[in-house]
Structures are given as C-alpha cells and as structure tokens.
Structure 1
C-alpha cells in the first residue's frame, strides 16, 4: 500500500485549488495520507523562495494570471486579492493538528474548508469562530479549536523542519513512499499516474 506525506499550507491558494482531489486519488489506489500543515512563508525562507509580496512585479502578475486560469480549470471560485490574506494561518493549522489527533472527521474536507475560507469565502481563518465552523463542517468537534495548542505548535514547527529536510519548498507538496516528490496541485495527474505504475 502506497503512502503519501502531504505538506500543505492553510494560506496557500494552490492548496485550496487542489480541492479534495488528493483524497480521491488516494482512495482510488488504496493509499494512505499523512497530513502535514506547514508555515509556508517560513519554508520559503528556509528553501530559497520569496513570499508573494516580495516578488518582482512580473512574477506577481504571472501568479495572478495563473491563479485565474487554475480557478477556471478546477471550477473552484477564487478571489485573487482576498480580504483576509495574508493573515495568521497558525491557529487553523493547530486546530487541524488537533483534529488529526482526535479523529472522527474528514481531514481532506477540513483542509479544503480552511483554505476555501481564505480564497473564496472572504473569511479570516485567524478568528476562532471561523476555525470552529470549519471543524464542524468537516465532522469534528468545534471545541478542538481550543485544545492541544502547545502540541499543535510543536507539531507545526516539527513539520517545517521535516519539510525542509525532505526537499519540500512549496505547497501543496506530495511525497510518496519516502522520496518520490510532486509539487503543486497541477501535478496530481502525475501523482495519479505514478501510483498506477507502482501498483502494476
């Protein structure tokens, strides 16, 4: 059985545009998923990347065009300049980690709900009420937003270290069975093909 380590960011538009397709692909191939939220800005700093606001205007313009195209391609609505971005994505990441530890809900749905709040629903995921609503939508106890904050912070920091050590430099990022790496939601067809090949 294949295993996918999934590095994602609560503030990443490309994580949002991935929707829940990863979960569909994993189910198709009987693969397991370990969800690993990371601080994407800190990861950029560790791996030679540049936060969007600090990029050359030509890169910012291209990013905006690409987001528009990918939104159309996926059928997921996206606001190129959302009202609450950037914001503090850590509380939502901590809540996600608490939900993962608690079990009982749909983690793929939770990741999508959080990122959808930022990129489509004009909601601030730094607010407890928004995080609680996401937890509830995905079948988790909303009170998880208030629990495990220390453990969440420690796991979030550990995920960053692990990501940097394993060659992760953006989000979403998928690593299959230890080292086969795929960067970006637009590489999920390649991920799907790879899982088909290793099953054959």
Structure 2
C-alpha cells in the first residue's frame, strides 16, 4: 500500500485549488495520506524560494494569471487578492493537525479552511472561522484547543520534514516510492504514478 506525505499551506491558493482531490486519489488507489501543514514562508526561506510579494513583477503577474486560469478550469470560485491574505497560517494548521490526530474527514477540513481564505473573504487565523470550518467538516472545535501544544510542535517538525524530504513549495506530494510531485497541476501525475503509469 502506497503512502503519501502531503505538505501544504493553508494560505496557499494552489492548496485551495487542490480541494479534496488528493484524498480522493489516495482512496482510489488504496493509499494512505498524511496531512502536513507547514510554514510556507519558512520553507521558501530554507529552499531558495521567494515570497509572492517579493517576486519580480513578471512573476507576480503570471502567478495571478495562472491562479485565474486554474480556478476557471476547475470551476472553483477564487479571489485573486483576498481580503485576509496573507494571514497567520499557524492557528488553522494547528487545527488540522489536531483533527488528523483525532480522526475524521481531514480533507474536508483542509478544503473548508482554504476556501474560507480564497473564496469567502474570511480570516482563517480567527478562532470563530476555524470553529465554523471544523464543524462543517464534522469535527468538534474543542479538538483544536485540546491539541494545541502538540500541534505546535508538529507544525514546526513538518517544516523540518519538508526540507529534509525535498519539498520546496505547496502543495507538495511525496510518495514512499520516492517520487515527488509539486503543485496542484501535478495531481494528475500523482494519480498516474499511483496507477503504475509513471
């Protein structure tokens, strides 16, 4: 049985555009998946990346075009410049880590939180927004509060694991076969790999 480490950032538009597809593909192939939210700005700093605001204007303009096109192809609403971005990704990440530990539909929670940021103009660093997203995914919001200290340690470790495993962006999928896939637009390649075609 294959295993996927899914490194992502709750403030990443391409994590949002991934939706629940990673979980659906894993289920289709009988693979397991570990959700590893991480500090994307920390990852950029460690692996030669540049935060969007510091990129050359050509890159900034292309990023917005690419986001718009990908959202249109996926038929997903997307605010190119959401009101609450960037925001502190740690609280939403802690909630995901705690929810994964508790068990349940983590894919739905990731989708809810990223949609709140990129399509609903909500600040995912706020407790009430996180609680709403958790409830909508079937989790008791108290799970996040109870697991906060452990989640903080795991969040920091996820960044270290991402760097050590070869990740440099989000979303980033690493299969236990050693194959790595970067970006929402490589989910189809991940699917093909799990199917034995790549």
1:145 Cα offset (Å): 2.9
Other structure's SS at 2:159 match: helix
1:4 paired with 2:4, answer: yes
What secondary structure does 1:50 align onto? coil
Q: What is aligned with 1:19?
A: 19
Report the Cα offset of residue 133 of structure 1. Answer: 0.6
Q: TM-score scaled by structure 1?
A: 0.96
The answer (yes or no) to whether the contact 2:2–2:177 under 8 Å persists in 1 is no
**CA deviation profile, 1:17-58 (whole Å, cap 9, x unmatched):** 011111111111111001100100110000000000000111
Distance in 2 (CA, whole Å) between partners of 1:106 and 1:51 is 30
Judge conservation of contact 1:128–1:145 (CA < 8 Å) in 2: no
Partners in 2 of 1:35 and 1:158 — Cα distance? 13
CA displacement at 1:143 relative to structure 2: 1.3
Counterpart position of 1:41: 41
Alpha-carbon distance in structure 1 between the residues aligned to 2:85 and 2:77:
16
Separation (CA, whole Å) in 2 of partners of 1:189 and 1:151: 33
Structure 2 residue aligned with 1:192: 191
Following superposition, the deviation at residue 151 of structure 1 comes to 0.8
CA distance in 2, matches of 1:43, 1:76: 27
Aligned to 1:63: 63
Tell me if structure 2 keeps the 8 A contact 1:40–1:171.
yes
Following superposition, the deviation at residue 178 of structure 1 comes to 4.9
Q: CA deviation at 1:153?
A: 0.8
Q: Secondary structure at the match of 2:196?
A: helix
Q: How does 1:77-156 map to 2 (within 5 A)?
A: 77-103=77-103, 105-156=104-155
CA contact (8 A) 2:3 2:176 kept: yes
In terms of mean alpha carbon deviation, does 37-46 or 142-151 score higher?
A: 142-151
Which stretch shifts more, 170-179 or 69-78? 170-179
TM-score by length of 2: 0.97
Mind listing any 5+ residue stretches in structure 2 that lack a counterpart? none
Q: Could you tell me which residue of structure 2 aligns to residue 31 of structure 1?
A: 31
> For structure 1, which runs of at least 5 residues remain unmatched after alignment?
none
CA distance in 2, matches of 1:90, 1:10: 9
Post-superposition, which runs of at least 4 consecutive aligned residues in structure 1 deviate over 3 A? none
Q: How many residues were matched structurally?
A: 198
Q: Is the 8 A contact 2:4 2:176 kept in 1?
A: yes
SS at match of 2:77: coil
- For the aligned residues, what is the CA RMSD? 1.2
Match of 1:74 in 2: 74
